[in-house]
Structure formats: structure tokens, C-alpha cells
A and B are shown apart, each in its own frame.
Chain A
């Protein structure tokens, strides 16, 4: 629903009874404030209300110290916003920051128990190598270096064959 006075979406809705007649008002935040039916203050964060202050972020190990994932480039901040990791390498990259979150989500569980792939162990190094090759391949294709891409694709295929 649009504001009665402009094209902004109406966020304040009022019903008044004047002389036995029902009057409805639908206003955007700005017009509601101008009409005096809403007080803007309550909605605004404190740092927008005060005119002068010193802002000090408490040291958050999360945002400041965690390096972006080297494999996919995802930052810890981006992960916090989306809730989804960028690649398998993110688990190792965000290891420390992720741990408390994992423990909360899994009733204290922080280490895998259960099924493992048949060739687990030797896998992890090869998986990293595969990831790297595929990234280079992606770049080669993007920059139209097709010969290089073909070579990389051969390496990927070779590596995938080796596993079995």
C-alpha cells in the first residue's frame, strides 16, 4: 500500500473516528513524522540520534582476524550474512571461528563420527589440488586461453581417474 501523500510504501496505518465517521490514514515514515503521528526517534539507532560521540567497536575476533578463504575468496562477514559457505576449503579457513557455531548447532558436536568415503585420508590433499586446478581452469576459460584450459582439463581428468 502506498502513502496517501506520496509514492513511498505506507508503514504507518491509522484509523480515526471523527464525528462518527471512520477515517483511514496510510502514511510513509516521513509523512507520518511530519503529521506528528509517529515519532522517528524510536526507530532510529542511537548513533543516528546523537550528534557527537566516539565510536569504538569492541574487538571482535570474528570479523577482524579471520582471513578470507583462499580457495573461493569468501570472507567471514559474507558467510555470516548468507549462512552458506563458499567451498569445502571454507571449513579449514574458518576453522576457529566456525567451531563455536558448529557446537551450538550440533549439541556440542564438533567432530565427525559416522560414515567415511572408502578412500578417505588420501582424499583431502587430492581434493585441494582438484579445487585449485578447477579454479585455474575457470580463469583460463574466462580469459579465453583455450589451449591452457585444455591442458588443465586433462590434468583434472587424470587426477579424477587416479582416485579409483
Chain B
């Protein structure tokens, strides 16, 4: 999330997830407590013992404090659903956060690979390699007709979910975003918000992902994204950015500098407001209209201004009002530092 990667002016991250279930066990909805425990044991043993990454963390979720769980959600390493409840479950995370394997979420295993920018090929290659390694250790539920068998029939087949997180502020400003959303839906793609599953898209961030998994191969699906829909959306966003810069530069600059003004002077900042303002700041940076702030600092602010991260930085738990104050103070300091030490 923090790095750049190809097309990082528009594409925040690429993500590939494979749903797998260990053969010989029922799915989780029918699994007993003892079976869930056994599944966690098996998964942890295989995942940690096969050299998938140089260093891997294992987080036993029922044992971990609420703040830690929230932190993992904010980093997109586990789903909100996985962070809740006390049934046996966990997550294995590569230390560089490029891989997260959720155990006992909706399926026994959800192998997730995350890359900065547009890197779906690389992401899938890695996920596929992890799948091969694990398949060498344990048998996955599979049928020749239905493919990889999953708890929910909407994931059956390849079990793949390809998602790309996009930053589309210019399409939002010009109002053309609705056309893009409609087109994506016509292609049976889901458009979700910054916080993923079950959220409306917040502000200028859109997560585009496939909804079908049966009857088309992984590579066909990847091609759809890489050759079809994502380059098209990037092209539209670029066109909208150029149009704004050419024809309504004062409006564009007003938005960008207004965001900078608020971020560097506000005394109270809600999470939603910070997200909206940082989005315009990011637009200014990627378009070269704000020269002394770098993209990495802005990307970091998206991550660090979320509730659990703020409280970790503060070293104490903060209520809503305290968080808004602390967030404003934190952003002011960060942007002040970034601007005075910047190259610009």
C-alpha cells in the first residue's frame, strides 16, 4: 500500500485471493469446535512450515486484543468478518505484508497476495505458487465438475478473487464516475469501497473485483482485468485529469490547495473528512501540482489516520472526540515535516 508500483498515480494496489478447503473436513458452518481447532492446527503447521516467506507471523485471533485485530483490518490483512467472534481462527502474514493467509474465515483457507500498483500477474503467480506448496502438504476439496469446492457456491471453481483498488478523484469531480460504475457492473464486476466487502465506495476510492469464478480460467479472468477493464479505467481517469488541468485548472488547484489548507490547519478531523481531503492531496501530488509533498508520505497518511493506527501511535485508547483532535494534530505535524524536508 505504501509503495508505488506500476500506474501508482491511479492504481493503489492489486490483490489476488484463492479460496481453498482442506479435504476430509466439513465446511466451517458444519464443523465442530474440535474440527475447527484441528483445522487451525493443520493450517498453521503447513503454512508456517513450508517456507512460503522468509519470515511469517501467526496471529491467533481469539487470543489477540481488539486493537490488534482492528489494526489488521485497517491494513487489509484480514476481513472485518474475520476480526470478529471467538471461534478458533487465525492469520499467517508474511513480514513484508505481501501475503496473508486467513484460516477459518468463510473457507478453511483464504490465500491472499497483495501488491502495490498494478501487478496482478505477479500477484497471481505468487498466490499460485503458495497454493502449489500447500497442495503438496494437504489435499484440497476439489471436483472435476465444480473445481475447488467452497462454502459459498459463489466462489466455487477457481476460487479466485481478483481486486484492484483505484483512486479516481478526477472521474468523481467530472461526474463521469457513474458511467464507469455502470460499465463495470455490466461486466459483472463488483465495485466496492475503501474498506472492502460490504461497504459503499467511500469518496474517491473504488475496489473493482470479479464476481464469477466458475467456467472461466484464472488466466482469462486476469486478462479481462489487465487488458480490458483496468487499463480502460486508467485511461478515463487520465483523460479526466488532463481535461481538468486544461480547461478548469483554477477549480482543480482550488480543490487541491483547499485540501492542503484544511489538512495543515484543522484542529479536528474525522476519518471520513481526512480520507476525502487526502484524496485531493494525492491528486495534487500525482499530477505534479504540489511539488514539495511526496506520494509515499500521502499514502502513509491514509493508513496511519485510521482509528486503530492512531491509537497505537498515541499509545493509548482514544474516544471519538480525542481521535479527531489527535488525527488533526498528527496530520499537521506530518505534512509540516514532509514539506519542510521535501526536495521542492
Contacts and interface: CB of A to CB of B under 8 A. Distances in A.
Nearest to B160: A114
B81 interface: no
A130 B214 contact: no
Contact of A88 (B149, B217, B219): B149
A84 B29 CA distance: 7
B214 A110 contact: yes
Interface stretch (A9-17, A48-56, A121-129): A121-129
Contacts of A143: none
Contacts of B25: 87, 131, 134
Interface string B134-159: 01101111111111110111101110
Nearest to A133: B24
Interface in B150-185: 151-154, 156-158, 160
A121 B144 CA distance: 7
Given A101-B153, A102-B153, A88 B215 contact: no
A102 B149 CA distance: 12
Interface in B321-340: none
A91 B152 CA distance: 11
Contacts of A88: 21, 23, 27, 141, 143, 149
A117 B139 CA distance: 9
A3 B245 CA distance: 57
A74 B153 CA distance: 15
Given A84-B106, A85-B151, A156-B24, A114 B216 contact: yes
B212 A107 contact: yes
Contacts of B142: 116-117, 120, 123-124, 127
Contacts of A160: 24, 138-139
Contact of B144 (A109, A112, A134): A112
B144 A74 contact: no
B139 A126 contact: yes
Interface string B18-52: 00010111110110101100000000000000000
B188 interface: yes
A134 B215 contact: no
Interface in A106-160: 106-118, 120-121, 123-124, 126-127, 130-131, 133-134, 138, 141, 156, 160
A90 B35 CA distance: 18
A163 B138 CA distance: 9
SS class of chain B's interface: helix, strand, loop or mixed?
A: loop
Contacts of B98: none
B18 to A, nearest CB: 9
A79 to B, nearest CB: 9
Contacts of B207: none
Chain A CB within 10 Å, residue with most, of B25, B29, B131: B29
Nearest to A86: B30
B218 interface: yes
A45 interface: no
Contact of A111 (B27, B140, B188, B214): B214
B110 to A, nearest CB: 14
A74 B31 CA distance: 12
A27 B164 CA distance: 47
A130 B237 CA distance: 52
A132 to B, nearest CB: 9
Contacts of B26: 71-72, 86-87, 131
Nearest to A74: B30
A73 B26 CA distance: 11
A92 interface: yes
A133 B34 CA distance: 15
B270 interface: no
Contact of A127 (B24, B156, B188, B219): B24
Given A91-B145, A107-B188, 17 more contacts: A72-B26, A84-B27, A85-B27, A87-B30, A88-B27, A88-B141, A88-B149, A102-B156, A106-B154, A107-B215, A109-B216, A110-B214, A112-B147, A114-B218, A115-B217, A127-B142, A131-B25
Q: Which 4 A-B pairs have the closest CB atoms?
A: A109-B215, A112-B147, A130-B24, A86-B30
Interface of B: 21, 23-27, 29-30, 32, 34-35, 106, 128, 131, 135-136, 138-149, 151-154, 156-158, 160, 188, 211-220
30 contacts: A83-B152, A84-B106, A84-B151, A85-B27, A86-B29, A87-B25, A87-B26, A88-B141, A102-B146, A105-B153, A105-B211, A105-B212, A106-B215, A109-B212, A110-B215, A111-B146, A111-B214, A112-B145, A112-B147, A112-B157, A112-B215, A113-B215, A113-B220, A115-B217, A116-B142, A121-B144, A127-B141, A130-B139, A133-B24, A160-B24
